[in-house]
DNA sequence: CATGAATGAGGGTTCATTCAT
DNA sequence: AATGAATGAACCCTCATTCAT
């Protein structure tokens, strides 16, 4: 067993139910505080207060401020991935060959994930410092998503693209980017979400030669 | 007690040539410093030093740190817009009816703008705090771009979309988002730019019913 | 408002064997931790962990961190004194009138005491705060040592000093200081211990008119 | 010109008279604060206050707390060395061959140096963390002192020691240790300084075979 | 008695901003 | 105008100590 690279990992692997709960309370508080104040102004004292703890306690669960952020990102991504996977599984169960339905499921899951707390999303994925370690993780996750998409596109013979892996990559990136941009970024003149959803699906299906 | 109204406008509208020059020197320095160190670590002292003057002098040109950032964003956007406009003008001069060529011109201009200083771009548009005032400006600019695109799409009868304004919006957003994402964000496994360019154009033309 | 009288005495006079054992375990742990990390970085939590118990338990045996240090110093000094006394007793048994042999015995005991854990010694007698109470104790012990030395020097008619008590004091101080300095302090160019020992004895015997 | 190893060096090499003065004010304040409160409790805020500055200013002259200490040690040692050198020079001018006089001069200078601020001395040379860099410097200075002493001892044919270099080392160490111990350490039953001085010289001269 | 989570005062340090020169 | 020393609020984090379980 090797020592974890320290520094960005939770200080204690919570085994007791109480500890797990406290950790989550801290993360929830951090989500609120970061969402409201941004990363820089989201001070550890504020987070502790929001969590109903003292700073000292907070630092018993996380070695430093960045570690909280990293864990928040991880949790967020884990939940997002799970949501997409679940939606995908359901769609495949309904009709395995219907790529349009799969796309719709993925887009809906992505929208749902972003809609939860747009401000937090913004902080987590744009404003905050992302240590290389975390970036690597995120890139790996994205690569996995692209692989998954490549495989799924291959199941529908109607899909007409020169390079399926490249197309998959563009699809994943487009969904992520546009949904993020549209939902997370507070626009002055926000689009109607259902309209945006429909148009994004149109874009994707036309790109893939499905329409 | 209300927060004092933050001044984000340059302290002096420079009329003398030397003042303009100094202002630009500060902005250039800020671009370098922010690009290299990020927003938080890009201290005003460092910027002043990089600009070859004292902090005191810097504060004679900008009321606070954020104002420098805002001005930098404005300058960047202005230059980007100009580049796109120029590219567009050239393409129209070549063949006014060729929407594919227009799209290509716009995409190329966008890529060029982002490629200039990816790190700075990242800082400017992701990491840094953007005051509402600036956000409003950016949204306005984007709205103008969408209007422009709507008009251009209307010139080509082949374009087949249900709602031209909506399609224009998606096109603008897609180009911006994907180019930013692909060029500015340092990915682990970066795509080849020409390949990306070609595929993005494929996506756009298919979406618009041009292919 | 006066400072509350710090308690430096152990919280419980241990009567039960197990308690004594625990106390010693704590002191051993503290010796290791202080020796390795220094006083400031030798936290009570670290000591407790090294002793294999909880901080809470540690505080049942010692009222505060300083009390641990004080007890450690006491123990150390007690052991050192005992070692010197034993060496002295043995030397006297061999040849009661041989002051050179007595000096050698004392020097050897001093060296042995310091050599045990130089780092700890350093922490105990240099780096750490010594409350006045403890200082008084140490001074008393030193006074006793000087008295003892005075008596011993009187047994040898060859000893030629103007003021025996003063000479005794200088001898005690010299042995302590030089041995500490030479052994405990990690010098860049450390002397060979046997060589140092021989030279120190030369210094002492010449000073006392024995050589 | 290589970049200095940072971290322990003064932040700005003071060129302006005002800056030099401020630096010295900080060092004087630090001497007072460390002498009174010890190293750990000698906070940078307290030092700044004692110097009549803000913490921020203090940090414009020293990169961190340790650097202040290091500079204080350097200053102290520099002054001590200078005092010894001056005393030595005067004694040599008087009578170059009189080793007793040289020893007396050195001992007097050492006593004077320590007597200045015993508490500070204690903090500087015992309680405080000494970074390796500083230790190396101190060791080098000591080596130089030993060399100097070796040379001086060689000038008097009456000096009878087996190994002059070793004897020189012991002489230097003894003077330093005993003077430090006797003057800097607040003893319960302090020796009379002139008496101590006389006896220390007796010890040294007898050791060297001069008496 | 033991535990270890919780506390929170306090420490070192940074940096946007001001203002005397 | 320009300078850069000075400011001080605010930040992140530690650790001796307590107390509910």
C84's tokens: 């010197």
Contact D3, D91 (CB under 8 A): no
- Which one of D121, D164, D181, D193 would you mutate to disrupt binding with C, by most C Cβ within 10 Å of its Cβ? D181
3-state secondary structure B101-116: HHHHHHHHHHHHHHHH
B81 Cβ within 7 A of any nucleic strand E atom: no
pLDDT for residue A186:
64
Q: Which residues contact D63 (CB under 8 A, 6 or more apart)?
A: D6, D7, D8, D9, D10, D11
Rounded Cα distance, D157 and C201, in Å: 23
C188 touches chain D (CB under 8 A): yes
Nearest neighbour of A170 by CB, restricted to B128, B169, B199: B199
Comparing C-alpha atoms, which of C184, C179, C174 is closest to residue C206?
C174
C159/C199 same-domain check: yes
D39 Cβ within 7 A of any nucleic strand E atom: no
Nucleotide nearest to C12 (CA to C1'): E1
Q: Does the pLDDT at position C5 exceed 50? A: no
CA distances for C5 relative to A149, C62, C68, angstroms:
72, 15, 16
CA distances for A84 relative to A78, A113, A135, B48, angstroms:
10, 9, 20, 48
User: What pLDDT digit, counting tens, does each position of A90-106 carry?
Assistant: 999 999 888 999 999 99
pLDDT for residue D10:
62
B53/B83 same-domain check: no
User: What pLDDT digit, counting tens, does each position of B103-130 carry?
Assistant: 999 999 999 999 989 999 989 998 898 8
User: What pLDDT digit, counting tens, does each position of A145-173 carry?
Assistant: 999 999 999 989 999 999 999 999 999 99
Residue of B15 and A25 predicted with greater confidence:
A25
Residue B105 Cα to chain centre, angstroms: 16
pLDDT for residue D133:
87
Residues of C in contact with D169 (CB under 8 A): 191
D56 Cβ within 7 A of any nucleic strand E atom: yes
D200 touches chain C (CB under 8 A): yes
- Could you write out the DSSP letters of every residue in C38-102? TTTT--HHHHHHHHTS-HHHHHHH-SSHHHHHHHHHHHHHHHHHHHHHHHHHHHHHH-TT-HHHH
CB contact under 8 A, A181 and B173: yes
3-state secondary structure C141-195: HHHHHHHHHHHHHHCCCCCCCCCHHHHHHHHHHHHHHHHHHHHHCCCCCCCCHHH
Q: Does the pLDDT at position B4 exceed 50? A: no
Contact B168, B149 (CB under 8 A): yes
C94/C125 same-domain check: yes
Task: Say if D and C touch: at least 3 Cβ pairs within 8 Å.
Answer: yes
Rounded Cα distance, B29 and D17, in Å: 31
Contact D22, D53 (CB under 8 A): yes
pLDDT band of D4, cuts 50, 70, 90: very low
pLDDT for residue B2:
35
How high does pLDDT run on average in chain C?
A: 90
Q: What's the DSSP call for residue B3?
A: P
B35/B75 same-domain check: no
Q: Which residues contact D132 (CB under 8 A, 6 or more apart)?
A: none
pLDDT for residue C15:
59
D198 within domain boundaries = yes
Protein residue with the closest CA to the C1' atom of nucleotide F4 = B54
Residues of B in contact with A206 (CB under 8 A): 206-207, 209
User: What pLDDT digit, counting tens, does each position of D71-126 carry?
Assistant: 999 999 999 999 999 999 999 999 988 899 999 999 999 999 999 888 899 899 88
What is the distance in angstroms between the Cα of B127 and the nearest Cα belonging to chain A?
4
Q: Give chain A's largest Cα–Cα span.
A: 59
Q: Tell me the mean pLDDT in the region A116-142.
A: 89
Report the chain D residue with the minimal C-alpha distance to residue C141.
Answer: D188
Residue of C130 and A56 predicted with greater confidence:
A56
Q: Tell me the mean pLDDT in the region C15-30.
A: 88
C133 touches chain D (CB under 8 A): no
B50/B104 same-domain check: no
Residues of C in contact with D181 (CB under 8 A): 173, 176-177
User: What pLDDT digit, counting tens, does each position of D157-202 carry?
Assistant: 999 999 999 999 999 999 999 999 998 776 667 789 999 999 999 9
Q: How many structural domains is chain D composed of?
A: 1
C79/C175 same-domain check: yes
Question: What is the sign, positive or negative, of the torsion defined by CA atoms of A93, A95, A98, A101?
Answer: negative
C110 within domain boundaries = yes
Query: How long is the CA B169 to C1' E17 vector, in angstroms?
Result: 42
C136/C44 same-domain check: no
D113 Cβ within 7 A of any nucleic strand F atom: no
B88/B152 same-domain check: yes
C10 within domain boundaries = no
pLDDT band of C71, cuts 50, 70, 90: very high
Comparing C-alpha atoms, which of B177, B209, B165 is closest to residue A191?
B165
Rounded Cα distance, C133 and B162, in Å: 90
Q: Which residues contact B161 (CB under 8 A, 6 or more apart)?
A: B153, B167, B207, B208, B209
- Which one of B103, B150, B164, B187 would you mutate to disrupt binding with A, by most A Cβ within 10 Å of its Cβ? B187
B3 Cβ within 7 A of any nucleic strand F atom: no
Q: What's the DSSP call for residue D189?
A: S
Nucleotide nearest to B57 (CA to C1'): F2
C55/C100 same-domain check: no
B9 within domain boundaries = no
Which range of residues forms the domain containing residue C138?
70-207
User: What pLDDT digit, counting tens, does each position of B65-92 carry?
Assistant: 999 999 999 999 999 999 999 999 999 9
Report the chain C residue with the minimal C-alpha distance to residue D37.
Answer: C129
Find where tokens 């015992």 sit.
D126
Q: What is the CATH number of the domain that holds B43?
A: 1.10.10.60
User: What pLDDT digit, counting tens, does each position of A35-48 carry?
Assistant: 999 999 999 999 99
Q: Does the pLDDT at position B1 exceed 60? A: no
Question: What is the sign, positive or negative, of the torsion defined by CA atoms of B30, B140, A181, A8?
Answer: positive
pLDDT band of D46, cuts 50, 70, 90: very high
Query: How long is the CA A123 to C1' E5 vector, in angstroms?
Result: 30
B28/B122 same-domain check: no
B1 within domain boundaries = no
A3 within domain boundaries = no
- With a pLDDT cut of 70, the percent of chain B lying above it is 91
- With a pLDDT cut of 70, the percent of chain A lying above it is 91
pLDDT band of B64, cuts 50, 70, 90: very high
Rounded Cα distance, C85 and C107, in Å: 12
pLDDT for residue D208:
96
B129/B38 same-domain check: no
Find where tokens 């970066």 sit.
B190
What is the distance in angstroms between the Cα of A152 and the nearest Cα belonging to chain B?
19
CB contact under 8 A, C167 and D200: no
- With a pLDDT cut of 90, the percent of chain A lying above it is 73
B37 Cβ within 7 A of any nucleic strand E atom: no
pLDDT for residue A210:
93
pLDDT band of A211, cuts 50, 70, 90: confident
C175 within domain boundaries = yes
**Own/partner pairs, B22-31, CB within 8 angstroms, 24+ separation:** B22/B51, B22/B53, B22/B57, B22/B61, B23/B61, B25/B51, B25/B52, B25/B53, B26/B51, B26/B53, B26/B58, B26/B61, B26/B62, B26/B68, B27/B68, B27/B71, B27/B72, B27/B75, B30/B68, B30/B69, B30/B72, B31/B72, B31/B117, B31/B120
Q: Does the pLDDT at position D17 exceed 80? A: no
pLDDT for residue B7:
56
- Which one of C135, C178, C210 would you mutate to disrupt binding with D, by most D Cβ within 10 Å of its Cβ? C178
Nucleotide nearest to A60 (CA to C1'): E5
Nucleotide nearest to B55 (CA to C1'): F4
Q: On the CB side of D210, how many CA atoms lie within 13 Å of its CA? A: 20
User: What pLDDT digit, counting tens, does each position of B119-160 carry?
Assistant: 999 899 988 988 888 888 999 999 999 999 999 999 999 999
D161 within domain boundaries = yes
pLDDT for residue B12:
55
Nearest neighbour of A187 by CB, restricted to B139, B177, B200: B139
Q: Which residues contact A209 (CB under 8 A, 6 or more apart)?
A: A158, A159, A160, A161, B206
Q: What is the CATH number of the domain that holds B176?
A: 1.10.357.10
B175/B189 same-domain check: yes
Nucleotide nearest to B18 (CA to C1'): F1
3-state secondary structure chain A: CCCCCCCCCCCCCCCCHHHHHHHHHHHHHHHHHHHHHHHHHCCHHHHHHHHCCCHHHHHHHCCCHHHHHHHHHHHHHHHHHHHHHHHHHHHHHHCCCCHHHHHHHHHHHHHHHHHHCHHHHHHHHHHCCCCHHHHHHHHHHHHHHHHHHHHHHHCCCCCCCCCHHHHHHHHHHHHHHHHHHHHHCCCCCCCCHHHHHHHHHHHHHHHCCCC
Contact B84, B109 (CB under 8 A): yes
Q: Does the pLDDT at position D18 exceed 80? A: no
- Which one of C174, C186, C197, C205 would you mutate to disrupt binding with D, by most D Cβ within 10 Å of its Cβ? C174
């Amino acid at each position: 067993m090797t020592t974890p690279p320290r520094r960005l990992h939770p200080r204690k692997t919570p085994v007791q139910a109480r500890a797990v709960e406290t950790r989550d309370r801290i993360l929830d508080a951090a989500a609120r505080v970061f969402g409201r104040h941004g990363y820089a102004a989201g001070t550890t004292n504020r987070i502790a207060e929001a969590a109903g703890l003292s700073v000292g306690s907070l630092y018993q669960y996380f070695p430093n401020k960045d570690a909280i952020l990293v864990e928040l990102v991880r949790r967020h991504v884990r939940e997002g991935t799970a949501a997409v996977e679940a939606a995908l599984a359901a769609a495949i169960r309904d009709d395995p060959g219907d790529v349009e339905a799969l796309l719709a499921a993925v887009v809906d899951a992505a929208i749902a994930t972003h809609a939860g707390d747009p401000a937090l999303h913004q902080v987590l994925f744009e404003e905050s410092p992302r240590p290389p370690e975390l970036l690597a993780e995120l890139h790996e996750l994205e690569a996995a998503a692209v692989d998954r998409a490549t495989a799924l596109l291959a199941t529908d013979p109607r899909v007409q693209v020169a390079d399926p892996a490249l197309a998959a990559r563009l699809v994943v990136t487009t969904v992520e980017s546009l949904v993020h941009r549209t939902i997370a970024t507070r626009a002055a003149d926000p689009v109607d979400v259902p309209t945006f959803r429909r148009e994004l699906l149109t874009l994707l299906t036309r790109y893939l030669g499905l329409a």
